[in-house]
């Protein structure tokens, strides 16, 4: 269930308990209310709290979670990961981990971790999701944005390439390059898709392990990307500031 719904229901339940207690037993009254009056008042307060709580849940919960969940298929060895507030969801292998504490604060990255380096504490294989601003001068010229990104990556890896791609029906670019990661080379894919003229979703993947392990990682990464769902209704609400 979406966290927004849970929060609304908990708030409503707390209001019901507090209001019913106050209505039934009074709060510092010199003379207690007659029993029938206390009961009627308690019922009225409970009904009001239910209406308010239900209204909060209705306003906050717009069906995004269910829409995404229904589109995502059931797949053995995978679980559904849904960020209803952002309008995105995907299937993740059960042996992968999700690290998203900064997202819980309302912003920040979402890390999907497959493996840690056996000789260090760093991530050796994983993916990162982040939402980035599109500069105003790129709104009507996305090819210039992609071209500038490729030029920057060519300084890191002369063999870097930019490939046409798509994610959940949204066209974009995938940048593939190699970057030094200390004792090992990091193999990176960075995908950009524009969700709105001013917002793009960046999904990057990284692995620095041997070729055979990279092959397994790449296959799992591709299946994650193929499963991606972007709820356009939620994206439209976000772009409108709702």
Q: What is the CATH number of the domain that holds 213?
A: 3.40.1000.10
Q: What's the pTM?
A: 0.75
Q: Same domain, yes or no, for 160 and 47? A: no
Residue 66 lies in a domain: no
> What confidence score (pLDDT) does residue 33 get?
56
Q: What is the domain range of residue 196? A: 75-239
Q: Same domain, yes or no, for 82 and 198? A: yes
Tens-binned pLDDT, residue by residue, of the chain (242 aa): 445 555 555 565 556 555 555 555 555 555 555 666 666 666 666 676 666 666 555 544 668 999 999 999 999 999 999 999 999 999 999 999 999 998 888 768 999 999 887 666 678 899 999 999 999 999 989 999 999 999 999 999 999 999 999 999 999 999 999 998 767 789 999 999 999 999 999 999 999 877 788 899 999 999 999 999 999 999 998 888 76
| Measured CA angle at 183 (ends 128, 154), to 5 deg | 60
Q: How far apart are CA 25 and CA 43, in angstroms?
A: 13
Number of domains in the chain: 2
Residue burial 76-102, b: 16+ Cβ < 10 Å; e: rest? eebebbbbbbbbbbbbbeeebeeeeee
Q: Same domain, yes or no, for 167 and 206? A: yes
Q: Same domain, yes or no, for 48 and 111? A: no
> What confidence score (pLDDT) does residue 57 get?
55
Element (H, E) at 49: helix 35-60
Q: Same domain, yes or no, for 105 and 51? A: no
Q: Same domain, yes or no, for 19 and 54? A: yes
Q: Same domain, yes or no, for 39 and 117? A: no
> What confidence score (pLDDT) does residue 207 get?
92
> What confidence score (pLDDT) does residue 103 get?
85
- Return the structure tokens found at 130: 């982040």
> What confidence score (pLDDT) does residue 56 get?
53
> What confidence score (pLDDT) does residue 234 get?
93
Q: Same domain, yes or no, for 111 and 82? A: yes
> What confidence score (pLDDT) does residue 105 get?
80
Q: Same domain, yes or no, for 97 and 189? A: yes
> What confidence score (pLDDT) does residue 1 get?
46
Residue 69 lies in a domain: no
Residue 211 lies in a domain: yes
Residue 67 lies in a domain: no
Q: Same domain, yes or no, for 47 and 104? A: no
Element (H, E) at 74: none
């Amino acid at each position: 269930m979406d966290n927004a719904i849970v929060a609304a229901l908990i708030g409503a339940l707390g209001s019901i308990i507090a209001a019913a207690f106050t209505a039934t037993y009074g709060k510092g009254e010199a003379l207690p209310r007659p029993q029938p009056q206390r009961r009627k008042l308690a019922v009225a307060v409970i009904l009001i709290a239910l209406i308010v709580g239900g209204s909060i849940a209705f306003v906050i919960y717009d069906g995004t979670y269910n829409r995404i969940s229904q589109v995502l298929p059931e797949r053995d060895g995978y679980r559904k990961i849904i960020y209803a507030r952002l309008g995105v969801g995907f299937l993740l292998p059960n042996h992968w981990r999700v690290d998203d504490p900064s997202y819980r604060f309302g912003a920040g990255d979402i890390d999907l971790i497959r493996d840690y380096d056996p000789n260090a504490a760093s991530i050796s294989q994983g993916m990162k999701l982040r939402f980035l601003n599109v500069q105003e001068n790129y709104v009507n010229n996305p090819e210039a944005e992609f071209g500038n990104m490729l030029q920057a990556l060519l300084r890191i890896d002369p063999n870097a390439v930019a490939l046409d791609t798509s994610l959940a029906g949204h066209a974009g670019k995938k940048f593939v390059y190699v970057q030094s990661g200390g004792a090992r080379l990091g193999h990176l894919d960075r995908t950009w898709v524009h969700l709105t003229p001013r917002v793009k979703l960046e999904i990057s993947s990284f692995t620095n392990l041997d070729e055979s392990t990279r092959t397994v990682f790449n296959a799992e990464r591709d299946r994650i990307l193929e499963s991606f769902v972007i709820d356009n209704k939620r994206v439209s609400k976000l772009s409108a500031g709702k």
